Amino acid sequence: MEDRAIKEISLLIENIHILTIDHEYGEFESGFIAVDGKDIIDIGSMEDLGCRYRAEKILNGHGKLALPGLINTHTHSAMSLFRGYADDMPLWDWLTKRIWPLEDRLESEDIYYLSMLSMAEMIQSGTTTFSDMYMFMDETAKAAQKVGMRAMLARGLQGYDKLSDIRLKESRELYEAWHGGADGRIKVMIGPHAIYTCCEDFLNQCMDLARELNLPIHMHISETKKEVLDCLEKHGRTPIKYLDDIGLFEIRTLAAHCVHLNEEDIQILGQRDVRVAHCPSSNLKLASGFMPAAKLIRNGIDISLGTDGASSNNNLSIIKEMNLAAIMGKAVAEDASAVSARDVINMATINGARALFMGDEIGSLEPGKRADIILIDLDKPHFKPKNDIDSLLVYSGQGQDVDTVIVDGKILMEARQLSTIDLDRLYIEIDRIKKRVMGVS
């Protein structure tokens, strides 16, 4: 029999426990992942590896778990400046009295460093892709390009006011400059903030721009009881029904929060294939309420996970959100079998990819998909004994367990050491920004 030629590849991960999160939810207790350039080209059991590959770099995964990179589908990365600044306040007072006044002092360069701070935190807790909505998004794009993360970016839009047309122009410019940028890692969405900051005429303009550029919409929807009650008083409908009636859900939509929903709302979300970003920590901390995750799952709605900003969380770990989503979902449903460990692992990976309309590219470990991979160190007391791996990950796992992070086949962190961010220099910049914006060091 003729020997198979040895293939030269860029990266080989060996002796690794793998959860593929593909349609078969495959698992290899001792497997390999072969990466060439940006892509996964092969995956399987060590028994089947043989000598088919010669790799530029080999990672020994003994004692570790490989997962698809985690996906944060709703955050405001540059709000890391306000971590711990305006805690223990309801959302409306938090926004209007504390956050918005200081945001007016931010300058474009600040966003580069503040976004990079959040990226460092996200990488160290296993996130490889994030969806962001804020201002000066060109700077967040520059930071993502430098750091190597995958990002879906939306300029936050409010209107009408004197800056509304400028914000729309900035959204178009963000698309022209960055959609498909950073070698395909950066994409753009249209980001009307919420119904309480966007009038109907302005929402129609946002929708027109999304249609013209063929972009999805990313929007806060039904986050608080106040938002729903105000919408009922003003429009005679819930926010979900109102947005459906004006045609917004005819456009691909990522709806952040979706806490306060009635049965009709849930039916609309399912019928319109609206993707939902569940942010349990932020919703709990701001006392916004409890998203009925089990009901959405039963209705076939794709729920993903978001952290929201560090100002309302106060950290950016999707592993933390997995735990909260599972235990909160059970409590709300009053059913210990609701919102399983596997449900929330899917939320953090393949559902997150679908929420960002990237399910064909990322979210699972299988040949042909991008090599966005994380390795979790299982050699920790809280992972012993090694019973059900899904349960251990969700109910015992911590962000600090992440050992290695790979995006597009490039290692961004190995053995907990970041390779694309100089933290010491970054901290100096953060202190400088804080002193100027907040007046304190």
Query: Is the residue at 270 inside a domain?
Result: yes
Provide the residue type at 409 as one letter: G
> Cα separation of 325 and 304, whole Å?
10
**220 lies in the same domain as 93:** yes
> Cα separation of 188 and 298, whole Å?
30
Greatest Cα pair distance in the chain: 77
- The pLDDT of residue 2 is above 50: no
**192 lies in the same domain as 81:** yes
CB under 8 Å to 110, separation ≥6 — which residues? Answer: 78, 81, 136, 139, 433, 437
User: In Å, how far are 83, 172, 262, 302, 387 from 160, measured between CA atoms?
Assistant: 29, 17, 29, 32, 55
The predicted pLDDT at position 115 comes to 98
**293 lies in the same domain as 392:** no
**303 lies in the same domain as 378:** no
Alpha helices in 289-398 (DSSP H): 293-298, 318-333, 341-348, 350-355, 389-391
Give the pLDDT confidence of 366-387 residue by residue, as tens digits.
Answer: 999 999 999 999 999 999 999 9
User: Of 139, 155, 131, 181, whose CA–CA distance to 358 is shortest?
Assistant: 131
- The pLDDT of residue 103 is above 50: yes
Would you call the peptide bond into 367 cis, given omega within 30 degrees of 0 as the criterion? no
Q: Which residue, chain included where needed, has tokens 């319109």?
A: 272
Query: Is the residue at 436 inside a domain?
Result: no
User: Of 301, 288, 292, whose CA–CA distance to 249 is shortest?
Assistant: 301
Q: Quick one: tokens of 271?
A: 């019928």
**227 lies in the same domain as 341:** yes
The predicted pLDDT at position 189 comes to 98
Which H or E run contains 339?
A: none
Number of domains making up the chain: 2
What's the pLDDT band for 1 if we cut at 50, 70, 90? Answer: very low
Regarding pTM above 0.85, the answer is yes
- The pLDDT of residue 268 is above 50: yes
Give the pLDDT confidence of 272-317 residue by residue, as tens digits.
Answer: 999 999 999 999 999 999 999 999 999 999 999 999 999 889 999 9
CB neighbourhood size of 87 (10 A): 14
Mean of the pLDDT values across residues 215-228?
Answer: 97
CATH number at residue 322: 3.20.20.140
User: In Å, how far are 82, 129, 219, 266 from 216, measured between CA atoms?
Assistant: 28, 17, 10, 20
User: Of 109, 136, 203, 189, whose CA–CA distance to 436 is shortest?
Assistant: 109
> Cα separation of 243 and 195, whole Å?
9
Residue 11: phi and psi, rounded to 5, are -150, 135
Q: Quick one: tokens of 53?
A: 């590959």
**16 lies in the same domain as 140:** no
**282 lies in the same domain as 232:** yes
**265 lies in the same domain as 407:** no
Query: Is the residue at 407 inside a domain?
Result: yes
The predicted pLDDT at position 100 comes to 86
Query: Is the residue at 431 inside a domain?
Result: no
Give the pLDDT confidence of 188-210 residue by residue, as tens digits.
Answer: 999 999 999 999 999 999 999 99
Mean of the pLDDT values across residues 395-401?
Answer: 98
Query: Is the residue at 427 inside a domain?
Result: no
Helix-helix angle 318-333:341-348, to 10 degrees: 140
Give the pLDDT confidence of 115-132 residue by residue, as tens digits.
Answer: 999 999 999 999 999 999
**324 lies in the same domain as 395:** no
Tell me, what DSSP letter sits at residue 159?
Answer: B
**387 lies in the same domain as 255:** no
Q: Which domain holds residue 349?
A: 70-355
Query: Is the residue at 2 inside a domain?
Result: no
Q: Average model confidence (pLDDT) for the chain?
A: 96
Please give the share of the chain, as a percent, with pLDDT higher than 70: 99
The predicted pLDDT at position 3 comes to 52
The predicted pLDDT at position 51 comes to 87
Using DSSP's 3-state secondary structure scheme, residue 305 falls into: strand
Query: Is the residue at 440 inside a domain?
Result: no
> Cα separation of 213 and 202, whole Å?
17
Q: Quick one: tokens of 321?
A: 């959100």
Query: Is the residue at 153 inside a domain?
Result: yes
Helix-helix angle 108-124:137-147, to 10 degrees: 40
CB under 8 Å to 420, separation ≥6 — which residues? Answer: 146, 147, 148, 412
What's the pLDDT band for 440 if we cut at 50, 70, 90? Answer: low
- The pLDDT of residue 441 is above 60: no
- The pLDDT of residue 61 is above 90: yes
CB 65 within 8 A of CB 390: no
What's the pLDDT band for 38 if we cut at 50, 70, 90? Answer: very high
**53 lies in the same domain as 80:** no
**342 lies in the same domain as 383:** no
CA 248 to chain CA mean position, Å: 22
What's the pLDDT band for 98 if we cut at 50, 70, 90? Answer: confident
CB under 8 Å to 190, separation ≥6 — which residues? Answer: 154, 157, 171, 206, 209, 210, 213, 215, 216, 217, 218
Give the pLDDT confidence of 133-178 residue by residue, as tens digits.
Answer: 999 999 999 999 999 999 999 999 999 999 999 999 999 999 999 9
Helix-helix angle 164-178:200-213, to 10 degrees: 20
CB under 8 Å to 280, separation ≥6 — which residues? Answer: 291, 305, 321, 324, 325, 328
CATH number at residue 377: 2.30.40.10
Give the pLDDT confidence of 12-24 residue by residue, as tens digits.
Answer: 999 999 999 999 8
Give the pLDDT confidence of 67-97 residue by residue, as tens digits.
Answer: 999 999 999 999 999 998 988 888 788 888 8
Which of 355, 379, 409 represents a domain boundary (last residue)? 355
CB under 8 Å to 230, separation ≥6 — which residues? Answer: 196
